[in-house]
Structure 1
């Protein structure tokens, strides 16, 4: 009896050991990291042709992965692009997906499937660090309690964010819905309609400012910088702008270290080079181009330090990294910071026309890189891809059956195994839309100024249809609509089909 018991116990131990060994040998699902810059242009990265600024850490990703020459954000402004990235849905389908004030309610329906929700279903821990700008709460937010719904309610297990942008109130961080460092003795109040009595503004207190405002950035002053929107109280919770890049980097690195033993998804949304540009003292003067160039250098360093952390933790060969920007560049967009005067020969838009807010290519064609050490072979791809497609491609990667409504599965393209990208995409800029199909770009007629004189950017507005062959004219200098009536009709018909009932104006216009 003793021998039988001993043999049985030994067998069970052996079976258990084999099972554990098999479990240990099962490969962990790949980590996924999206590194998202803010207002970084196609020409702001040396791997994309910039000669006046050096971005060695961005370039390492480009040189070690797939550098897409035709990669798009969905929109030429921030909130819509971020909505599209997380939902896989065109932002023009959601009328609230436009540049939001810091007090706006959440614009992603909490019942909607998102990238983090989909990945959570597949066993991932999910986190966001950095800029959010998709709204918080359900209206009339009380910043002195937990603010919800927000990132945690649309799929993120962990969130460390700023509510909107660096130039908008409230100038505080929120961690999992709570304002960080807030004292109950000094509650925080935010208002976008009127100022609080006795609170100084940039409009009437120039002596309190270290940065001169431009284009309406003249409300509440914090850290010597006037903002959009008003706030009162919450002094212990206010961020220091010059430390923001370090704050976000620290949180992103800590997230990786804390979740390295499980598959994770991290959305690391840097604030650079959006205004106000406030480089840490370590980076002041490093670009020779003023604050805008300096914060690009700072962001490049942050990305390098973050990638170094992945490497030090032994995660680099099991982590898919996506690097991109939410829209094209703008130089002067709220403050006088010498960025125009010191731009020199640098062209943030590269060979493209337009910039942020524009329907021309520079509004939405952005740096777009995929990197996975040992899995993705270095390459340059001309395949047309969109941030919309990350949803369905990530789903394919992790064996999920979920898909984004407008998201295409381009996993093989992102991994460098195929050159067959999108055939067409609808691009958006401040509620206006245009079509890109193959090598052709079509912009329908729109009322409004041809140039936003405040920021000196061509918007793409015209009383006539515009058609460009990007193979021959990447800079969109020659409108060939009149010479190609059949191609124009083909583009307009497809555009109307894709937009459906969402685009009425074009139905009232005749092709010329």
Structure 2
């Protein structure tokens, strides 16, 4: 009898332990977002690039999910980054392109994807271009920067504080300037010249490439920038090293956290101006520095993927690859991007680009890669990066609070290739608002004319005093405005856009 009860007890104990053992073994997936700057829909081999090869990303797309109707939140960088990290439309916080000394745009009272994933037990990091502001006023570049990624959920940060074309031209690690000599403090001004460093307007003979007036202030590493800076000589970056330095930091972070679930937001400086690729990539394309920067970006992406493989964690890592807005050629520097373009079409078949409300402003390359979960496929589901917040929260098992990611929907089935039923609508932000609903696209009229600086960049802004309506199925290049022919459709889309603007909860 004792043997019977012992055997029964042992069997019951084992049965009860099985779910616990399985749960312990079921590790949450790592999550990596690779965010490129100014990469257009047509800038990859898989989407039709000419004059540059992107073998690593083509391989990722072939083995993962390629979304052909994937969108960033806005046609410029700061608003898209804000939307990605908060799950909210940028217009709700009046987010716009920030100067290099702007205070933090996202503060602790606004939930972010990073602190939500921390609730699920993730270690979190941001490496690369930030451009979301730092500090609370006058930034202390010579000590700890009081407001930054750590205060909104990131355990680790290694940043280009704003952009490569803005001062201060230094890296920050965990909100302190890297390699700073305290005897040579940094000062920054966006109003008047400070210090003795040469400027692009005063010393054009020192430049690696000419720049427009906006980009002709303090010269660092042979490149003139927006804004003025003095001090920090030992901390200055070299543009040629951007991608390799940032990629190495990402590899080190993944290696250090391979045993734990981690979230890495890796934001390239490439292919944003100034385009000064490392010598090993010069001449890799037929398009000059812009094409070479694409090749450099592809190589570095491949290095990240190889690291996941070598660490044995690729099968348990979801990688999302995309861009913060559409392409631009002449964006302030004379890097021959227009002259050497050849037959390449950065926006693919679409109209517009960076700064534009036309489709190429926000329709960007989008790839989801997870070898153990995502089967090779192509999807035309309507998708927006704003939905990454809600989707990744669901993936990690976190229920959203009532005050977070109010414009974000669950698109996890689309990301995993389980469904091609995309968004019912998406909002596209530029200098106006546009809305996509199926094959229909409405662009809201504005009273302002296209700014002169946009004309100089030869960007079609889509700004008009007239209502615009396009049928993208019949007219993907948005050449035929049919608003006058479909007044009911115009009214319906105007109403939906107003509902979205005026409500602080999700509008289905």
Per the normalisation by structure 2, the TM-score is 0.93
Change (3 A) 1:21 1:470: closer
Shifted more, 260-269 versus 444-453: the winner is: 444-453
Work out the CA distance in 1 between the residues paired with 2:327 and 2:450: 17
Return the alpha-carbon distance in structure 2 between the equivalents of residues 198 and 234 of structure 1: 13
Contact persistence 1:116–1:154 (CA under 8 A):
yes
Contact kept, 8 Å, 1:383 with 1:419, in 2: the verdict is yes
Bigger mean CA offset, 397-406 vs 341-350: 397-406
1:198 deviation in Å? 3.1
Counterpart Cα distance in 2 of 1:394 and 1:342:
40
Corresponding residue SS for 1:464: coil
SS for the counterpart of 1:457 is coil
Q: Secondary structure at the match of 2:117?
A: helix
CA distance in 1, matches of 2:194, 2:146: 24
Q: Answer whether contact 1:215 1:454 (CA < 8 A) is retained.
A: no
Q: What's the counterpart of residue 447 of structure 1?
A: 447
Equivalent position of 2:477 in the other structure: 475
Residue of 454, 460, 463 corresponding to 1:461: 463
Q: CA deviation at 1:448?
A: 3.5
- Give the alignment of 1:319-330 within 5 angstroms: 319-330=317-328
Query: Shift of the alpha carbon at 1:142?
Result: 1.4
Listed one character per residue, the Cα deviations across residues 366-420 of structure 1 (whole Å, up to 9, x for unaligned) are 0111110021011111111100000000011011011511000010110000111
Contact 2:352–2:461 (8 Å) recurs in 1: yes
Task: With the length of structure 1 as denominator, give the TM-score of the two structures.
Answer: 0.92
Give the deviation of 1:454 after TM superposition.
Answer: 1.5
Further displaced range: 367-376 or 449-458:
449-458
Within 5 Å, give how 1:271-290 maps onto structure 2.
271-290=269-288
Report the alpha carbon displacement of residue 51 of structure 1 after superposing the two structures with TM.
3.3
Output the CA distance in 2 between the equivalents of 1:20 and 1:361: 49
> In structure 1, what is the equivalent of residue 246 of structure 2?
248
User: What is the match of residue 4 of structure 1?
Assistant: none
Bigger CA drift: 450-459 or 313-322? 450-459
Matches within 5 A, 1:131-280: 131-280=129-278
Aligned to 2:34: 35
Contact 1:136 / 1:149 at 8 angstroms: preserved in 2? yes
Match of 1:76 in 2: 75
- Equivalent residues of 1:397, 1:411 under 8 A apart: yes
How much has 1:446 moved relative to structure 2?
1.7
What RMSD over aligned residues (CA atoms) do the two structures have, in Å? 1.9
Contact 1:146 1:178 survives alignment (8 Å): yes
Distance, in Å, in 1 between the alignment partners of 2:373 and 2:392 is 15
Q: Tell me whether 1:115 sits opposite 2:113 in the alignment.
A: yes
* Bigger mean CA offset, 444-453 vs 35-44: 444-453
User: 1:139 offset after TM fit, Å?
Assistant: 0.8
Matched, 1:337 2:339: no
Aligned-pair CA distance for 1:500: 2.1
| SS at structure 2 position matched to 1:366 | coil
Alignment partner, residue 3 of structure 2: none
Q: Which runs of 5 or more structure 1 residues have no equivalent in the other structure?
A: 1-6, 503-512
Structure 2: how far apart are the matches of 1:316 and 1:123? 19
Please give the alpha-carbon distance, in whole angstroms, between the structure 1 residues aligned to 2:66 and 2:204.
45
Identify unmatched segments of 5+ residues in structure 2. Answer: 1-5
Tell me if the contact between 1:215 and 1:333 (Cα under 8 Å) persists in the aligned partners: no
Cα drift, residue 54 of structure 1: 1.6
**Given that residues 195 and 230 in structure 2 are in contact (C-alpha distance below 8 angstroms), is that contact kept between their aligned partners in structure 1?**
no
Q: In 1, Cα distance between the equivalents of 2:120 and 2:444?
A: 42
Which residue of 2 is the match for residue 486 of structure 1?
488
CA-CA distance at 1:65 after TM superposition: 1.1
* Aligned match of 1:85: 84
Preserved CA contact (<8 Å) 1:424 1:437: yes
**1:108 to partner: Cα distance:** 0.6
How many Å separate the matches in 1 of 2:77 and 2:473? 28
Q: Which residue of 1 aligns with 2:438?
A: 438
**How far apart, CA to CA, are the structure 1 residues paired with 2:62 and 2:339?**
32
Pick aligned residue for 2:366 from 362, 365, 368 = 368
Distance in 1 of aligned mates of 2:67 and 2:19:
42
CA gap of 1:215–1:383, structure 2 versus 1, over 3 A, is farther
1 CA distance for matches of 2:213 and 2:234?
A: 29
* Separation in structure 2 between the aligned mates of residue 285 and residue 172 of structure 1, nearest angstrom: 27
Q: Name whichever of 452-461 and 194-203 sits farther off.
A: 194-203
> Shift in Å at residue 25 of structure 1?
5.4
Structure 2 match to 1:415: 416
Task: Give the CA deviation at 1:52.
Answer: 3.1
Rounded Cα–Cα distance in structure 1 between residues aligned with 2:242 and 2:394: 35
The structural deviation recorded for 1:450 is: 4.9
Counterpart of 1:282 in 2: which secondary structure? Answer: helix
How far apart are residue 236 of structure 1 and its match? 0.2
Task: Tell me the secondary structure at the aligned position of residue 322 of structure 1.
Answer: strand
1:199 Cα deviation after fit: 3.1
Structure 1 residue 447: Cα displacement: 3.0
CA contact (8 A) 2:50 2:345 kept: no
Q: CA deviation at 1:148?
A: 1.9
CA distance in 2, matches of 1:286, 1:108: 38
